[in-house]
Structure 1
Amino acid sequence: MWVNIIFVLTVAHFAVATSKLDLSWSGLTKEKFFRNSNGSVSSQVEKATELNLRGNFFDSFSDCSAYLDKLEILDLSQNNLQRFFFKCSTKNNLAKLNVSHNQLPFLNDTALTTQISNLQVLDLSYNVLQHITHWTFEHMKALHVLKLNENPLNNNIDEDAFKNLVSLIDLDLNNISCSNFPAGLFTPLVSLRHLTLSSNPIEHLPELPAGIQVLDISRTNIISLGQIAASHLRILRMNEMPKFECLNLTDLVNLRNLTVLSADNCPKLTSLAVQPPTEDLLPELHRLSVRNCSIDRVERELRPVMLRVSNLDLQLNPWQCNCKTQWIVSINSMRKYSDELRCNSPIKMRGRRLFEALDIDQYDCNDYKRLLTLWIPFGLLSLASMSAAMYFSTRAAFGPRGFRRGVTVSYSNMLTRSNDDDKILEHSDITDYP
Structure 2
Amino acid sequence: MRRALVFLALAAACCATRGWTFCDAPGECVCRYHERAEEDLMRQHIDCSYGRGAHAANRTLPPRAHSLDLSSSGLKIIRSGPFLRSKSLQELGLKNNDITDIEPDGLALPDLRRLDLSYNRLERLDAAVFRSITKLEFLNLANNNFVSFAKLTFHPLRELREVILNNNNIGPALRDTDLFDRDGFGLTNKIQKVSIGGIGLGRVHSNFFVDAYDIRELVITNNELTELFEIPFTLEYLDVSDNPIREISGEDFTDLTALKVLKMNNLGIGSVPAYALEPLRALVRLDLERNLNLSEFSALAFGQEVLEDADDFTLEELSLKSSRLQTLDRRLQVPLGRLSRLDLQGNRWHCDCRLAWIKQFQMKANDYEHLRCYTPKSLFNSKIFELKEKYFRCPRERGGGGVGSGMAVGLIAFCMFSSAAALWLFWYLPGCPPRGRALPTAAYSALPLHAPTATIAPTAL
| Equivalent position of 1:416 in the other structure | none
**1:179 and 2:205 aligned:** no
Cα deviation for residue 161 of structure 1 reads 2.2
- Cα 1:133–1:258 change in 2 (3 A) is farther
| Equivalent position of 2:422 in the other structure | none
Checking the alignment, whether the CA contact within 8 Å between 1:100 and 1:123 is kept in structure 2 is: yes
Helix, strand or coil at the partner of 1:127: coil
| Equivalent position of 1:11 in the other structure | 23
How far apart are the structure 1 equivalents of 2:123 and 2:98?
A: 11
Match of 1:213 among 236, 260, 269: 236
Checking the alignment, whether the CA contact within 8 Å between 1:170 and 1:194 is kept in structure 2 is: yes
Cα deviation for residue 64 of structure 1 reads 4.8
**1:127 and 2:139 aligned:** no
Match of 2:285 among 260, 269, 284: 260
| Equivalent position of 2:446 in the other structure | none
Higher relative strand content: 1
Cα deviation for residue 185 of structure 1 reads 2.2
How far apart are the structure 1 equivalents of 2:44 and 2:405?
A: 86
Helix, strand or coil at the partner of 1:146: strand
Match of 1:344 among 364, 374, 381: 374
Letter of the 1:58 partner, please give it.
Answer: L
| Equivalent position of 2:13 in the other structure | none
Instruction: Tell me whether 251-260 or 318-327 shows the greater mean CA deviation.
Output: 318-327
| Equivalent position of 1:60 in the other structure | 77
How far apart are the structure 2 equivalents of 1:305 and 1:250?
A: 14
How far apart are the structure 1 equivalents of 2:229 and 2:142?
A: 22
| Equivalent position of 1:149 in the other structure | 166
| Equivalent position of 1:84 in the other structure | 102
Structure 1 segment 326-345 matched on structure 2, within 5 A: 326-333=356-363, 337-345=367-375
Q: CA RMSD in A?
A: 3.8
How far apart are the structure 1 equivalents of 2:178 and 2:96?
A: 30
- Cα 1:327–1:45 change in 2 (3 A) is closer
Cα deviation for residue 7 of structure 1 reads 7.1
- Cα 1:52–1:316 change in 2 (3 A) is closer
Match of 2:265 among 239, 255, 267: 239
Cα deviation for residue 280 of structure 1 reads 2.4
Checking the alignment, whether the CA contact within 8 Å between 2:353 and 2:392 is kept in structure 1 is: no
- TM-score by length of structure 1 reads 0.72
Instruction: Tell me whether 89-98 or 332-341 shows the greater mean CA deviation.
Output: 332-341
| Equivalent position of 2:330 in the other structure | 300
Cα deviation for residue 166 of structure 1 reads 2.4
Checking the alignment, whether the CA contact within 8 Å between 1:137 and 1:162 is kept in structure 2 is: no
- TM-score by length of structure 2 reads 0.68
Helix, strand or coil at the partner of 1:251: coil
| Equivalent position of 1:50 in the other structure | 67
How far apart are the structure 1 equivalents of 2:278 and 2:389?
A: 33
Checking the alignment, whether the CA contact within 8 Å between 2:395 and 2:401 is kept in structure 1 is: no
**1:188 and 2:211 aligned:** yes
Cα deviation for residue 285 of structure 1 reads 0.8
Cα deviation for residue 324 of structure 1 reads 3.0
- Cα 1:291–1:89 change in 2 (3 A) is closer
CA-to-aligned-CA distance 1:105-136 (integer Å, 9 cap, x gap):
122322323x3221111111121111235971
Helix, strand or coil at the partner of 1:280: helix
Cα deviation for residue 255 of structure 1 reads 0.6
How far apart are the structure 2 equivalents of 1:79 and 1:240?
A: 32
Structure 1 segment 406-425 matched on structure 2, within 5 A: none
Cα deviation for residue 141 of structure 1 reads 2.3
Identity, in percent, stands at: 21
- Cα 1:352–1:185 change in 2 (3 A) is same
CA-to-aligned-CA distance 1:63-122 (integer Å, 9 cap, x gap):
555643333222222222112244488883121112111100122322323x32211111
**1:73 and 2:73 aligned:** no
Helix, strand or coil at the partner of 2:139: strand
- Cα 1:340–1:81 change in 2 (3 A) is closer
Letter of the 2:305 partner, please give it.
Answer: E
Structure 1: tracts of 5 or more residues without a match: 35-40, 390-434
Match of 2:130 among 92, 98, 112: 112
CA-to-aligned-CA distance 1:135-188 (integer Å, 9 cap, x gap):
711122211221111222233236342254222222222222222234332332
- Cα 1:248–1:107 change in 2 (3 A) is farther
How far apart are the structure 1 equivalents of 2:116 and 2:392?
A: 61
Letter of the 2:142 partner, please give it.
Answer: S
Letter of the 2:332 partner, please give it.
Answer: L
Checking the alignment, whether the CA contact within 8 Å between 2:126 and 2:152 is kept in structure 1 is: no
How far apart are the structure 2 equivalents of 1:286 and 1:82?
A: 45
Instruction: Tell me whether 91-100 or 326-335 shows the greater mean CA deviation.
Output: 326-335
Cα deviation for residue 338 of structure 1 reads 4.2
Checking the alignment, whether the CA contact within 8 Å between 2:127 and 2:154 is kept in structure 1 is: no
Helix, strand or coil at the partner of 2:68: strand
How far apart are the structure 1 equivalents of 2:47 and 2:362?
A: 53
How far apart are the structure 1 equivalents of 2:197 and 2:163?
A: 12
Helix, strand or coil at the partner of 2:359: helix
How far apart are the structure 1 equivalents of 2:298 and 2:392?
A: 28
| Equivalent position of 2:348 in the other structure | 318
Structure 2: tracts of 5 or more residues without a match: 1-15, 33-41, 182-186, 420-461
- Cα 1:220–1:7 change in 2 (3 A) is farther
Checking the alignment, whether the CA contact within 8 Å between 1:73 and 1:96 is kept in structure 2 is: yes
| Equivalent position of 2:298 in the other structure | 273
How far apart are the structure 1 equivalents of 2:86 and 2:22?
A: 20
| Equivalent position of 2:192 in the other structure | 169
Checking the alignment, whether the CA contact within 8 Å between 1:214 and 1:236 is kept in structure 2 is: yes
- Cα 1:160–1:275 change in 2 (3 A) is same
Checking the alignment, whether the CA contact within 8 Å between 1:273 and 1:301 is kept in structure 2 is: no
